[in-house]
A and B are shown apart, each in its own frame.
Chain A
């Protein structure tokens, strides 16, 4: 008989390096083609700078990039958190009030068809040029998938498990905290991952429409001055914000939902174990 060793077998470690090796090789190859192409074809730097030129700009202007990255990161995280909070609360509210769900749901769906660009100028008017118009922009994009995830997750509780809880005399509070919310967590995390990506988009759109700082602002102003290596630098600085957020959500999911990491092989303790 094997021993189950449940906590250790959660994540298969093998082939971990292959997950990184191949994408890194591909990126290196693409950069090489880009560098050689720009040099041999003599492409002007204001059309497409070589990767080496972007790297030089990144190093030389590191103080500028650091400042704007910090501002955008703050907007992304604050806006994301606000969107998540509103989304979770709204999802819970819609779940417990079917009347509200009926009234609000079509409105929510319709509102999602309004391009966010259309409301961005309004947000600048209402919340100013500073941090808050971007935070609200990010929150507006983020809350919707979170609301849907929360509502859907709460609605899809296994009816048989609900009946089990009823026969065990569980209170509505216990049903929510010990059954509905835990079984909604995988769906909520799927929503959070979308939110992590959307939040960056929201903040940058906010910055494009009206801002005095941030990576979106930096991109636009550098673009207008044809400092394209600066634009690429800003894009490069933007990536780790979204990826970092996504990584954090994924890490949190692994911590909070370890049972989800079980692979099919782990589950197959066959009947001979009995």
Chain B
């Protein structure tokens, strides 16, 4: 895991962002700074409304920061940034079959690009256990299948950096576990950089190299926890349980600490 500390994939410095609300402007991000190396798997934990999604939106080029800087592989965010963004909703297009849904990314690029990726799309479909459903409409799929399709679509955008905003938040525990394993496999196989937003401490500890905890409003980085264990050794590790306790306490804030 130390071998990947070569190139910086995501660099964020003193990022500030506020939105207009009912009682004037409220600060969502207040001086957020973080750095993610290429190939790293980082989770972002924090209370809801803590600006985690706003941070992803800024990295995806969907929102402009008020101050500070964000860089993705050395470039400012924008429509051609090398990121693929997956949100909690699967956002499958109901008028496209599963097959046409997962290939939308390359298709928007060019017809040749779509043809080029069809072979790997077929392999991934098989790997994700969806090959029998290639012709099905999204409305015919279960929530877990739809989320798998959304993950496939994200992968087939062939971007080196994946921004995942609570991608498994709406799923039941078993489905969620399977999808987490699929994500882990894909991350290993393709060497992606992953920034995962989640509110689930277990999920963060099971999957990532590093857990970054954001404070509530206004959001800033409270603490960072490297997870020193290999993925295989994580389930039911006492070390992880201790970390879980520490992270939960830091999430509850300084007032809650003894």
A residues near B (Cβ < 8 Å) are 3-4, 6-7, 158, 160-161, 163-171, 174, 178-179, 182-183, 185, 257-259, 262, 266-267, 269-271, 273-274
Q: A168-B108, A274-B145, A274-B175 given as contacts; is B89 within 8 A of A160 (CB)?
A: yes
A-B pairs with lowest CB-CB distance, top 5 = A259-B137, A167-B85, A6-B136, A274-B144, A262-B139
List 20 extra interface pairs beyond A4-B132, A164-B85, A168-B104, CB under 8 A.
A4-B136, A6-B97, A6-B136, A158-B91, A163-B57, A163-B62, A163-B87, A167-B84, A167-B85, A168-B108, A169-B79, A185-B95, A262-B139, A267-B140, A273-B142, A273-B145, A274-B142, A274-B144, A274-B174, A274-B175
Give the docked Cα–Cα distance between A7 and B132 (Å). 13
30 A-B pairs in the complex with CB atoms less than 8 angstroms apart:
A4-B132, A4-B140, A6-B97, A6-B136, A6-B137, A6-B140, A163-B57, A163-B60, A164-B85, A164-B87, A166-B79, A167-B62, A168-B108, A168-B157, A169-B80, A169-B108, A169-B109, A171-B108, A257-B95, A258-B137, A259-B94, A259-B139, A262-B140, A266-B140, A267-B140, A273-B142, A273-B145, A274-B129, A274-B144, A274-B178
Q: Decide if B133 is an interface residue (CB 8 Å cutoff).
A: yes
Give the docked Cα–Cα distance between A66 and B163 (Å). 66
Q: Decide if B201 is an interface residue (CB 8 Å cutoff).
A: no
Closest to A165 in B: B108
Q: Measured between C-beta atoms, what is the minimum distance from A60 to chain B in Å?
A: 51
Q: Decide if B65 is an interface residue (CB 8 Å cutoff).
A: no
Query: Chain B CB within 10 Å — which of A166, A168, A170, A185 has the most?
Result: A168
Give the docked Cα–Cα distance between A217 and B3 (Å). 87
Question: What sequence of 0s and 1s flags, for each residue 128-150 of chain B, a beta carbon within 8 Å of any chain A beta carbon?
Answer: 01001101111111111100000
Interface size class for chain B? 35 or more
Closest to A9 in B: B140
Q: A166-B79, A271-B175, A274-B144 given as contacts; is B93 within 8 A of A161 (CB)?
A: yes
Q: Decide if B83 is an interface residue (CB 8 Å cutoff).
A: yes
Give the docked Cα–Cα distance between A90 and B85 (Å). 35
Give the docked Cα–Cα distance between A166 and B63 (Å). 11
Contacts of A179 in B (CB 8 A): 93
**B61-A167 in contact (CB<8A):** yes
Closest to A158 in B: B91
Give the docked Cα–Cα distance between A273 and B145 (Å). 9
**B175-A178 in contact (CB<8A):** no
Q: Decide if B76 is an interface residue (CB 8 Å cutoff).
A: no
Q: Measured between C-beta atoms, what is the minimum distance from B70 to chain A in Å?
A: 14
Give the docked Cα–Cα distance between A62 and B85 (Å). 66
Question: What sequence of 0s and 1s flags, for each residue 16-39 of chain B, a beta carbon within 8 Å of any chain A beta carbon?
Answer: 000000000000000000000000
Give the docked Cα–Cα distance between A101 and B229 (Å). 60
Closest to B148 in A: A274
Q: Decide if B105 is an interface residue (CB 8 Å cutoff).
A: yes
Contacts of A4 in B (CB 8 A): 132-133, 136, 140
